[in-house]
Amino acid sequence: MLEGRNIGVVGGGKMGGALIEGIISRGMVGASALTVADTEAGRLEELAKAYGVRVTADNREAVRGADLVILSVKPQNMAEVLSGIAGAASKALFVSIAAGISTAFIEERLGVGVRVVRVMPNLPALIGEGAAALAPGAFATKSDLDLARQIFTAVGIAVEVEESLMDAVTGLSGSGPGYAFLIIEALVEAGVRMGLAPGVALKLASQSLLGAAKLALREEKTPAQLREMVTSPGGTTLAGLKVLGEGRLRETLIAAVEAATLRSAELGGRR
């Protein structure tokens, strides 16, 4: 679906770079079809060398004449970026991955009728294992949504949600890798305290979470049922889970998602 389209990417950071790599490695378009803008000259040089894309420090130049524009900038910079590119690509589809920024915010600044799809990806997109949620704006078509989905399935999975739920998605999967890394960090520390070498503890902890996650996705059983499968009466897992229960791990994780969800709403000016 991307074949023959020109793509402008505003923001060539980690996530922007991951999308560029996914698009090119999947053969969706050639490198010459992409123009990337970023404020850091060193980063532009890296992207040009790694992928052969055209680069520029001028956002307007990157989007001029583009069929698709990926907005990969920080939420606090979005208003300034939109002001700078308004009118440069009036017929383009705009795909935004900025946390908290609504499609209406973008539509208001780029003009009535502009097609926008809002996406919340996450960090594992860097290795093609991301989880992204998509929500269409008021003027986006089904074809627009399909196009955005194609891009993000190149770096993981993609699901569609109502835009009113995007803050919740941000709190859950957008920030979720951060929670997982903290859990891995704690498990590694525990393993080291119990006598394991740090490298061994890291491999065991990371693979344990990876394997558990794959089971949760592939099995028809619920996470609770899978947990019961590994929890024997009077066994080691039960002893560990008892401590986690006393420490209110479940409630703490829920509170973390709620806090991140509220912060996403704040970034979008909805609180």
pLDDT in tens, 83-121: 999 999 889 999 999 988 999 999 999 988 999 999 999
- Burial string for 95-115 (b: 16+ CB within 10 Å, else e) reads bbbbbbbbbebbbeebeeebb
Closest CA to 52 of 15, 89, 88, 25: 25
Residue type at 217?
L
pLDDT band at 250 (very low <50, low <70, confident <90, very high): very high
Q: What is the pLDDT of residue 270?
A: 66
pLDDT band at 4 (very low <50, low <70, confident <90, very high): confident
Single pTM value for the model: 0.90
What domains lie within the chain, and their CATH numbers?
Answer: 7-167 (3.40.50.720), 176-267 (1.10.3730.10)
- With 70 as the cut, is the pLDDT of residue 226 above it? yes
Residues 6+ apart with CB under 8 A from 169: 120, 133, 161
